[in-house]
Amino acid sequence: MGLRRLAVAAAVLAVCAAAVEGFDILQILGKHDEFSQFCKLLNETHLAGDINRDRTITVLAVANGDMGHLTSAHYSLGTIRHILELHVVADYYDEKKLKQLSHGATAASTLFQRSGFAPGMAGYVNITQHRGGKVTFIVDDAADSVKPVTFVKQIESHRYDYSVLQVSSVLSSPEAEAPVAPPAPVNLTELLSKKYCKSFAGLLAADAKAFDTINGTKDTALTLFCPVDAAVAAFMPKFKNLTAKAKTAILLYHAVPDYYSMQFLKSNKGKVTTLASTSVAKKDYTYEAQTEADTVTLDTTVTTSTIQATVRDDDPLAIYAVSKFLQPKELFKPKKAEDLAPSPAPEVPKKKTKKKPGSTSAAAAPSDDDSADGPAADDSADDAADKAGAAPSMLTRWGTAAAMVAAALALGA
Ligand SMILES: *[C@@H]1O[C@H](CO)[C@@H](O)[C@H](O)[C@H]1NC(C)=O
Ligand SMILES: *[C@@H]1O[C@H](CO)[C@@H](O)[C@H](O)[C@H]1NC(C)=O
Ligand SMILES: *[C@@H]1O[C@H](CO)[C@@H](O)[C@H](O)[C@H]1NC(C)=O
Ligand SMILES: *[C@@H]1O[C@H](CO)[C@@H](O)[C@H](O)[C@H]1NC(C)=O
Ligand SMILES: *[C@@H]1O[C@H](CO)[C@@H](O)[C@H](O)[C@H]1NC(C)=O
């Protein structure tokens, strides 16, 4: 068990380190009040997420007073996103590199180019170094009337990785300003039913609270892990035994109020906080995500489920079909415990008898429902889990790196 704990602590440490190193454009610009409007738009258009996921990138930020028509005009969010994409160069340029451009000029591709909405060279910016050291940026096929924007100063840079520069005003072009049709509304039930997750769609549709919470989150940022039909069928006997509140909690347990692209999931690991953590329960309701041999696994300590297919991966909504129903440790016995108790403890609705006389005491049934039954029942479940050697509770609080280091040292000694 000591080894197991050590391994867990080490894994958690790795996550903390990754989080510290992570590049967050909103955090960098957030330190400077004068970029609050630019920051706000990066966030609202979800471009910030794409920037953070990228490597080798240069952001051309514009100060509040220089935002001009970008804040005053009535552009749709889709159009604003395209204009902002022109400000994200898919290459590394810090001040030094700008001042040393060979031949004094270069064309660099931007995220607008990558969006697929930029015809011809409309997704490129020309960077020109002028006599006297002035550096300007202009959209490649801009009309004669468009004035170039000027490099003002370097805000922050991390060599060959990312660079954030201030420019004098907004870069734009007719192509970027073109109206963008709003994305077609997503019908969650339809999307889930089409592939892999018809049964799960049915469970959601039957639970208004779970459905409304998930449906209400999908337009902001949502990752949904939907168990494939076979997984739902296998879990149905247990599901039926849950109280109404526990059913809602377990459905919400499959939804994460954040957008995780497949690329992001494969290159990160750590604790996943779910809609059950945030909306129904005071309890943890999290699990660990990691990638092994290119397969993303979700480990709840009760079940280990793997992502089998992508139903949709389109910011701000990702839906992945998973191999097993995710069973939270808040409602079911952790894997280790099953070794001790050959017949897994049933999850029973509150009103029914929990334990038949003579049933093994090791089976000490975890509480059926967290929010419904109050603290006493919950604690007994947790105690049972702890005694059975479940992961230490500090695992769920990996935000405190210092505690983790201390724990790792203590365990490793
Ligand atoms: C980004 O927007 C979300 C709401 O969509 C908000 O909760 C969050 O605080 C914003 N982040 C920043 C850094 O502005
Ligand atoms: C950008 O550079 C290309 C190639 O050097 C050139 O053909 C084009 O005219 C330039 N565009 C502008 C707006 O300066
Ligand atoms: C979504 O799709 C389902 C199944 O196709 C349908 O029954 C439902 O009416 C649709 N909901 C909306 C809001 O369009
Ligand atoms: C789900 O949310 C959409 C908005 O994205 C809304 O139009 C739709 O009516 C909602 N569906 C249900 C069944 O409430
Ligand atoms: C459901 O609850 C009943 C009554 O407590 C129990 O006999 C049965 O084994 C449970 N089923 C499952 C799958 O947990």
Ligand 1 in reach of 37 Cβ (< 6 A): no
Q: What are the start and end residues of each CATH 2.30.180.10 domain in the chain?
A: 32-167, 188-322
Ligand 1 in reach of 26 Cβ (< 6 A): yes
SS3 151: strand
Q: Is 292 exposed, middle or buried (0-12, 13-18, 19+ CB in 10 A)?
A: exposed
pLDDT for 31? 95
pLDDT for 394? 24
Q: Is 202 exposed, middle or buried (0-12, 13-18, 19+ CB in 10 A)?
A: middle
CATH fold for the domain made of 188-322 = FAS1 domain (2.30.180)
Distance of CA 26 to the CA centre of its chain: 15
Determine the Cα–Cα distance for residues 17 and 10; give it in Å rounded to an integer. Answer: 11
User: For the stretch 297-316, what's the b/e string if a residue is b when 16 or more beta carbons lie within 10 angstroms of its beta carbon?
Assistant: bbbbbbbebbbbeebbbeeb
Of 188, 190, 198, the one to substitute when testing ligand 3's pocket (max ligand atoms within 8 A of C-beta) is 190
**Which two tokens mark 180?**
């963008």
**Which two tokens mark 84?**
């902002």
Ligand 5 in reach of 351 Cβ (< 6 A): no
**Which two tokens mark 182?**
């709003």
Contact 243, 316 (CB under 8 A): no
Sign of CA dihedral 236, 240, 244, 249: negative
Determine the Cα–Cα distance for residues 122 and 176; give it in Å rounded to an integer. Answer: 8
pLDDT for 361? 37
Residue with the smallest CA separation from ligand 2 atom 4 is 107
Q: Is 190 exposed, middle or buried (0-12, 13-18, 19+ CB in 10 A)?
A: exposed
Q: What end-to-end distance do the CA atoms of the chain give, in Å?
A: 14
**Which CATH superfamily does the domain covering 32-167 fall into?**
FAS1 domain (2.30.180.10)
Per-residue pLDDT of the chain (413 residues; tens, 9 = 90+): 333 333 333 333 333 233 335 689 999 999 999 999 999 999 999 899 889 878 799 999 999 999 998 887 789 999 999 999 999 999 999 999 999 887 788 999 999 999 889 998 999 999 999 988 899 999 987 777 788 999 999 999 998 889 999 999 999 899 999 998 877 888 999 999 998 999 999 999 999 999 999 999 998 889 999 999 999 999 999 999 999 999 999 999 999 999 999 988 998 889 999 999 887 657 899 999 999 889 999 999 999 999 999 999 988 899 999 999 999 999 999 987 555 444 444 444 444 333 334 333 333 334 444 333 333 333 333 333 333 333 322 222 223 333 333 333 333 32
Sign of CA dihedral 365, 301, 330, 397: positive
Ligand 5 in reach of 238 Cβ (< 6 A): yes
Determine the Cα–Cα distance for residues 28 and 36; give it in Å rounded to an integer. Answer: 11
Ligand 5 in reach of 352 Cβ (< 6 A): yes
pLDDT for 263? 85
Q: Which ligand is nearest to the CA of 36?
A: 1
Contact 133, 99 (CB under 8 A): yes
SS3 126: strand
pLDDT for 160? 85
